[in-house]
Amino acid sequence: MSMMVEKLAYVKKLRHLTSEEISRLSGVPLGTLNKIFSGQTKNPAVGPMDKITQVLRVPIRYLLDDELPPECWVTASAQDGIVLLSPEELTLLLQIRQLDPRRRQTAGLILALLNTPAGRAIGSVPVKRTVCLATGGRPPRPLLVPEVDRAAREEDFAVLLGDGSMEPLYPQGAILLCRQGEPSPQEYGVYLLNQELLLRRLVRRRGTSRLLAPSLSFPDLYLSPEDRLDCLGTVLGQAKGCRWEQLKD
């Protein structure tokens, strides 16, 4: 099976289209279309291929370039001709498109931070730039973190603790370093509970789920089936010697 035939079959299945539907929508006779999709036609004419790619919503280069894998998502680009998107990248793109303009700007800031290495050092200690989220709905900020311990070396993002929920483990105002991934039952995680950022320990027992804070001043949060809970990561420890950095225009 040629790469083009494999891609045609893949996109056909992806779009949930039958050969009859593609023929009807494109105007390409069913017999001609079947020969192209089966590989019987080795070098199909440009006219039918152009009509087929319009129905399948892929650039013709996607079909002709054997270096482009079948499983990639593609979109046309006036400058580059084609842009490849993996399923993960497509998911991120769709999530960004659902944001309101203010939150879309915030997402752009986070991407800018992640794509701009710090490239600095304090003496012989390397410094990395990370994104610092904040409880209480405050916007994320760029943070420079010296890699002085395991937490700093393994962190993926940071959280500015805006309340006393993590006392006596961590004081209010502390910056906590976190890594992506689910925490163990003994670890504290970073959660979005109905879009509210919280640092808690998730306990599941006897058919109930609740979020616990170290501070007794913060009551347990019992989860209902209507609640939406997303885990962003696991708390590694408190940042040491970090400082804020402003992005240059």
Looking up residue 210, the CATH number of its domain turns out to be 2.10.109.10
Residue pLDDT, tens place only, 10-65? 999 988 999 999 999 999 999 999 999 999 998 899 899 999 999 998 888 888 88
Residue 233 domain-assigned (yes or no)? yes
Residue pLDDT, tens place only, 162-212? 999 999 999 999 999 999 999 999 999 999 999 899 999 999 998 899 999
Residue 238 domain-assigned (yes or no)? yes
Whether residue 124 is found in the same domain as residue 173? yes
Q: Which of 93, 128, 162 is the last residue of a domain?
A: 93
Which residues on adjacent β-strands are paired with residue 141? Answer: 132
Residue 100 domain-assigned (yes or no)? no
pLDDT value for 114: 66
Residue 99 domain-assigned (yes or no)? no
Whether residue 126 is found in the same domain as residue 239? yes
Residue 247 pLDDT > 60, yes or no? no
Report the predicted TM-score, pTM, of the whole model to 2 decimal places. Answer: 0.61
Q: Are strands 73-75 and 141-146 parallel, antiparallel or unpaired?
A: unpaired
Residue pLDDT, tens place only, 98-140? 887 767 776 776 777 666 665 565 567 888 888 899 887 777 8
Whether residue 188 is found in the same domain as residue 220? yes
Across the range 227-245, mean pLDDT stands at: 92
pLDDT value for 179: 94
Whether residue 126 is found in the same domain as residue 60? no
Whether residue 127 is found in the same domain as residue 32? no
DSSP assignments along 188-242, one per residue:
-EEEEETTEEEEEEEEEETTEEEEE-SSTTS--EE--TT--EEEEEEEEEE--S-
Residue 102 domain-assigned (yes or no)? no
From 57, 43, 56, select the one nearest 2 (Cα to Cα): 43
Parent domain of 161: 109-244
Number of domains in the chain: 2
pLDDT band at 248 (very low <50, low <70, confident <90, very high): low
